[in-house]
Amino acid sequence: GIALIAMGVTPIIAGEVSMIPFHIGIVLLVIGIILTIYNLFYLEQGRRQRAKVGFA
């Protein structure tokens, strides 16, 4: 997720210098943010379930 965010931010910062077109950069950025939030939420849920069972 974080790699996609970096790939998405690069064309926005670099503009036309970057290899990736601007609109693709925005799409990658959005996907990266969604994946990162999902992964953080999923990991946090898994940790809570383990803590409930007793594996803190």
pLDDT at 12: 63
pLDDT at 3: 76
pLDDT at 11: 65
The total of other beta-carbon atoms located within 10 Å of residue 32's CB is: 19
CA distance 7 to 18: 10
| Total number of domains in the chain | 1
pLDDT at 15: 61
Q: CA separation (Å) from 20 to 1, 5, 15, 36, 42?
A: 17, 13, 9, 21, 30
The parts of the chain modelled with pLDDT lower than 70 are: 1, 8, 11-20, 22, 55-56
DSSP secondary structure letter of residue 43: H
Domain, as residue range, for 44: 2-53
